[in-house]
Amino acid sequence: MVIEIPELFDAAEVAEIRAALETADWTDGRATAGHRAARVKENEQLALDHPLAKQLADRVLARLSQSPLFIAAALPARVLQPRFSRYDGRGHYGNHVDNAIFPIPGTGEHLRSDLSGTLFLSDPADYDGGELVIEDMFGTHSVKLAAGNLVVYPGSSLHRVMPVTRGVRFVSFFWTQSFVASAEKRRLMFELDGAIQQIATDHPDHASVDTLTQVYHNLLRQWSAT
C-alpha cells in the first residue's frame, strides 16, 4: 500500500527547512548504505549527529504525530529519527531494499522497518528526474510530490531514485515500525478506519459506528505486534 499524505508542511515551512538545508555541511550518502546498496547510491546526507539534523528531525516527528492520515496508515509504534538527503548532478539511488532492522541510536534497541517514508522538500519544478520508483505487490509507482508532501510505502518493497539531471532534490526519509507487522492487515485496518470515519460523518447517530469501532480496536488488540 502506497499512501500519499499532502501538506505535512506548508510552503512557508518547507522554504524555512530548505533554506537551513542549503547551508548545511553534507557527507557522502554511501557511508550509511549497506554493502550492496552502496554500489548503486550517489547522493549526500546530513550526518545524524549534525545539530541541524536533530532539530529538523524533531520537527518532522512532531508533525507526524499530529497527522491523522499517517497514524491511520502506519499505526506507528516507533519512528526512527528522520534523515535528510540531497541529490544533484545526476545523483541517484539504484534499485535496493531497505534494511529490515535498524539500530536506534543511543539506546541499544532496534526498530523493524515495516514502512518507509519520504518527505519531499523540493518543488517538482525545481529539478528534473529524481522520481521515487516503488515496486510492490500492486505494481510500479513513480512518485514525485509537491514540496511538503509525504509518501509512505512498504519497507519490504524494491525501490529506487531516478537520476536528478537538473536542480537539487532535498528530501527527508525515515522508517516506521507499526503495531501491526503485516502489510495486508494494516491495509485492512486502514480501510476499516476510513469506512468508520465516513459512516460517522454521514450518519453520526447510527449504532453501527460503535460496533465497527469496537471491531477495529479488537482487531488492533489481536494483531498488535507488541
Does 53 share its domain with 20?
yes
Does 19 share its domain with 110?
yes
pLDDT (0 to 100) of residue 212 = 96
Q: Residues 125-148: what's their mean pLDDT?
A: 94
Q: Residues 54-71: what's their mean pLDDT?
A: 97
Q: How many CA atoms within 13 Å lie on the side-chain side of 128?
A: 4
Does 146 share its domain with 198?
no
pLDDT at 220 over 90: yes
Does 141 share its domain with 206?
no
Does 187 share its domain with 173?
no
Does 126 share its domain with 207?
no
Query: Which residues are 119's β-sheet partners?
Result: 150, 172
Does 156 share its domain with 58?
yes
Does 106 share its domain with 209?
no
> For residue 188, what is the domain's CATH number?
4.10.860
Does 171 share its domain with 203?
no
More confident residue, 34 or 210: 210
pLDDT (0 to 100) of residue 136 = 83
Does 210 share its domain with 143?
no
pLDDT (0 to 100) of residue 139 = 86
Helix axes 208-223, 183-202, angle to 10 degrees: 160
Q: Residues 114-131: what's their mean pLDDT?
A: 97
DSSP letter assigned to residue 145: P
pLDDT category, 226, cuts 50, 70, 90? low
Cell numbers at 40, concatenated: 548503486
DSSP letter assigned to residue 163: P
22 within 8 A of 72, measured Cβ to Cβ: no
Rg, Å, the chain Cα set: 18
Q: Which domain holds residue 132?
A: 3-178
Does 141 share its domain with 128?
yes
Torsion angles phi and psi, residue 31, rounded to 5:
-65, -25
pLDDT at 34 over 80: no
> For residue 14, what is the domain's CATH number?
2.60.120.620
Q: How many domains is the chain partitioned into structurally? A: 2
